[in-house]
Amino acid sequence: MISIHNLYKTFHANTINENKVITDLSLKIEDGDFITVIGGNGAGKSTLLNLIAGSIMMDEGKIFIDDVDVSKMIENKRAKYISRVFQDPNSGTCKDLSIEENMSIAKRRGKIRTLRKGILKSEKSEYQNLLKTLDLGLENRLNAKVGLLSGGQRQALTLLMATLVKPNLLLLDEHTAALDPKTAKTVLELTEKIVAENKLTTLMVTHNMKDAINYGNRLIMMNKGKIVLDIKGEEKKNLTVNDLLIRFEASGDDNIISDRMLLD
């Protein structure tokens, strides 16, 4: 279980550009939860993910992962518990290393890097079998540099890498936003499959209302650095875009529905 208590983050504090991105945010994530996070531009979705991952340090608050206090832990230490897929397909993989070398790096997530061989023979067949499940033909290109792959292929590979060592929490930061609609759909379906098969606890940021409704067992909506809606269980299953719009209006602030969310 991941619990977040009274998180605060302000950018450019005490200047004219002061921006309170996260204010007094608390959240409990149960094991096996697949939460979709939705909200307009500047709602604080990405900042929340960065705070959880430790790539930005919080001003105040506490984060616990299974009773471990990670609040002060730096990003690379937290990586032991958390894996990520970024919005930019280039961010999750290293273009100058081959597919199998990238996977070998992910296979050692959270472990100390030694002067042992970077990749063992026994690993190669394991990776080949895993790549087969992606059904993208990558299983025959273990030695190809990742820089040669398409955005969708790189995102699928990043997803696979993020789950090579089962994380306590998987963070997906609009990981299909930079892909064309068809590829985005493939990657999303793959995400659902991998999350279900490995029973991963997942936090997925999206700006697409339909995706937020169709995927996961819980939906949270953010506005001005706070969680304004938290829908789970039966209610989440039966949720429609219309319901969501009505709930937004009821929450008193209709600015939160950005054009981008509606257009998608």
Partner 1 sequence: MNSIIISAISQGLLWAILAIGIHITYRILNISDLTSESAFALGGALVATCIVNGIPPLLATLIATLGGSLAGFVTGFLHTKLKIPSLLAGILSMTGLYSINLRIMGKANIPLNMDDTLLTNAADLLGFTRDRDATIVLGILVAIIIVLGLIWFFNTEFGFSIIATGSNDQMIRANGVNSNVTIIAGLMLSNGLIALSGALVSQYNGYADVGQGIGAIVVGLASVIIGEVIFKNKNFFITLIGIIIGSIIYRLIVALVINTDFISANDMRLFTAIIVAIAIAMTNLNFRKSKVKRS
Tell me which residues touch partner 1 (CB under 8 A).
Answer: 53, 55, 74-77, 79-80, 83-84, 86, 90-97, 101, 104-106, 108-111, 113-119, 145
- Which one, 103 or 256, has the nearer CB to partner 1? 103
- Which one, 56 or 261, has the nearer CB to partner 1? 56
**Minimum CB separation from partner 1 for residue 94, in Å?**
4
Q: How far apart are CA 59 and CA 69, in angstroms?
A: 15
- Which one, 203 or 244, has the nearer CB to partner 1? 203
Distances from the Cα of 72 to the Cα of 63, 75, 213, 226, 228, angstroms: 9, 9, 34, 22, 27
**Minimum CB separation from partner 1 for residue 171, in Å?**
9
**Minimum CB separation from partner 1 for residue 237, in Å?**
32
| Residue corresponding to tokens 């059904």 | 135
Contact indicator for 147, 203 with CB cutoff of 8 Å:
no
- Which one, 62 or 108, has the nearer CB to partner 1? 108
| Residue corresponding to tokens 């149960």 | 30
Beta carbons within 8 Å of 16's beta carbon, 6+ residues apart: none
- Which one, 101 or 139, has the nearer CB to partner 1? 101
**Minimum CB separation from partner 1 for residue 248, in Å?**
33
Contact indicator for 35, 202 with CB cutoff of 8 Å:
yes
Q: HEC states along 175-228?
A: CCCCCCHHHHHHHHHHHHHHHHHHCCCEEEECCCHHHHHHCCCEEEEEECCEEE
**Minimum CB separation from partner 1 for residue 127, in Å?**
14
**Minimum CB separation from partner 1 for residue 209, in Å?**
28
- Which one, 173 or 211, has the nearer CB to partner 1? 173
Instruction: Give the torsion sign (CA, 139, 141, 145, 149).
Output: negative
